[in-house]
């Protein structure tokens, strides 16, 4: 059967497109300098209005640029992102204990209100339990050999070098150590997955430098030399959702649970435990049908806001916002809710946690500095549990759209508490 072919023609363009200049625009020179002169040179590249420049680089920002040293290259200013306060979130965990007010940085209206409502529901129910179940963050260098036999010989040798690799790691950091390693052979390729413990740092840079030291030893001592190799061969799951991380751990694997009395569900969420469980079943199946990794509503919303406020690597939300939410009706008719997140990557030292605003947000929770990373991970799980309760409650009560309409579209809306003042 013949198929008619049509010649595709570009749509008519109402405005003539000017030719591209023969030379590209001047490049942005890589620099970590934060001096006023260096920043001024970058602004000269831009055709920006005075208003745009002042929005990014007002006088106080220019005076404070030095605080960003080590955090950014070719800096031209800073953004202000509003920070809202949610909570209190009551947690009884292995590391986090007590009531936590949560600073959330976002530009999405209704987000802080939703997480705050869920946190207050948890607190009124007596609090949630949260536990760090496992810990470890990996790098996966890859090595290519001439044959499968050579790859197998290399893998056997590498796995025998555990103690030597420990020494390589110790030469790069006093805070991290090699937890375990395994070799994955694919034809003549070997993925050497190295799992590390990184103390109170999120640890991505730490494990990169430690892995580089291990690879240097491999190249110097391996009886089977690779044809070529890469420091990271994309097996670790870094900054992406992966099945390997989902069934294992990347960062900290955390779970949180709460039982909410039926009367409290009706009074605060305007729905019932039975309807919440109905939604869980339908939503979980919807996730399966769409091919999502895990089954949850919106972990990314709360995690991105908390990560941004507390100086975490926000790109890690790609892997952190994976997990499972479960809701059931108990034998006494109450609501049982639980979340499990296998890849919470947070730290309370290093990276952006040392910036003044981000450190202030950690201090608001009492989680700044060494000794608090595991507690912060448990707070993340409690935050996600609060968000799931509030979101699913709103969907069950039919309030999801109206809440966004009131908070995101009607700037005149101002909720009131029972005493008639602003509802904090």
| Catalytic member of 92, 108, 328, 334 | 108
Would residue 404 show up in a list of annotated catalytic residues for this protein? Answer: yes
Q: Quick one: which of 419, 257, 423 has its CA closest to 328?
A: 257
| Catalytic member of 97, 175, 399, 404 | 404
| Catalytic member of 124, 212, 313, 328 | 313
Long-range contacts of 23-29 (CB under 8 A, 24+ apart): 28/74, 29/74
Q: Quick one: which of 139, 138, 162, 147 has its CA closest to 226?
A: 147
Is the distance from CB of 190 to CB of 184 less than 8 angstroms? yes
- The residues annotated as belonging to the active site are 108, 313, 404
């Amino acid at each position: 059967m013949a198929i008619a072919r049509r010649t595709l023609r570009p749509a008519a363009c109402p405005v003539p497109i000017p030719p591209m200049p023969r030379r590209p625009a001047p490049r942005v020179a890589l620099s970590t300098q934060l001096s006023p002169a260096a920043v001024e040179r970058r602004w000269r590249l831009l055709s920006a209005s005075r208003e745009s420049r002042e929005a990014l680089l007002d006088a106080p920002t220019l005076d404070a640029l030095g605080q960003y040293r080590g955090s950014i290259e070719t800096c031209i200013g800073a953004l202000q992102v509003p920070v809202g306060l949610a909570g209190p979130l009551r947690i009884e965990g292995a590391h986090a204990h007590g009531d936590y007010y949560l600073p959330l940085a976002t530009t999405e209206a209704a987000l802080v209100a939703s997480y705050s409502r869920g946190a207050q529901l948890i607190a009124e129910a007596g609090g949630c339990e949260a536990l760090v179940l496992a810990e470890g963050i990996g790098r996966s260098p890859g090595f290519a050999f001439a044959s499968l036999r050579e790859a197998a010989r290399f893998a056997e040798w590498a796995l025998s070098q555990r103690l030597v690799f420990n020494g390589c790691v110790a030469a790069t950091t006093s805070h991290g150590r090699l937890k375990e390693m395994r070799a994955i052979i694919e034809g003549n390729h070997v993925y050497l997955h190295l799992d590390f413990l990184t103390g109170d740092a999120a640890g991505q840079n730490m494990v990169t430098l430690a892995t580089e030291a291990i690879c240097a030893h491999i190249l110097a001592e391996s009886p089977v030399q690779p044809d070529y190799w890469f420091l990271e061969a994309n097996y670790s799951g870094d900054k992406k959702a992966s099945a390997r991380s989902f069934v294992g751990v990347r960062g900290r694997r955390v779970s949180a649970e709460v039982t909410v009395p039926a009367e409290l569900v009706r009074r605060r969420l305007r729905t019932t435990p039975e309807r919440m469980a109905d939604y869980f079943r339908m939503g979980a199946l919807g996730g399966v049908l769409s091919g999502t990794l895990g089954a949850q509503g919106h972990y990314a919303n709360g995690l991105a806001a908390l990560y941004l406020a507390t100086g975490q690597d926000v790109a890690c939300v790609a892997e952190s916002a994976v997990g499972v939410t479960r809701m059931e009706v108990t034998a006494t008719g109450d609501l049982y809710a639980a979340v499990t997140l296998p890849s919470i990557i947070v730290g309370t030292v290093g990276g952006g946690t040392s910036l003044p605003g981000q450190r202030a947000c950690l201090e608001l929770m009492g989680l700044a500095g060494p000794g608090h990373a595991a507690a912060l991970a448990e707070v993340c799980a409690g935050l996600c549990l609060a968000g799931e309760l509030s979101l699913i409650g709103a969907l069950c009560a039919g309030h999801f759209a109206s809440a966004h309409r009131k908070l995101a579209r009607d700037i005149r809306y101002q909720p009131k508490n029972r005493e008639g003042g602003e509802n904090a």
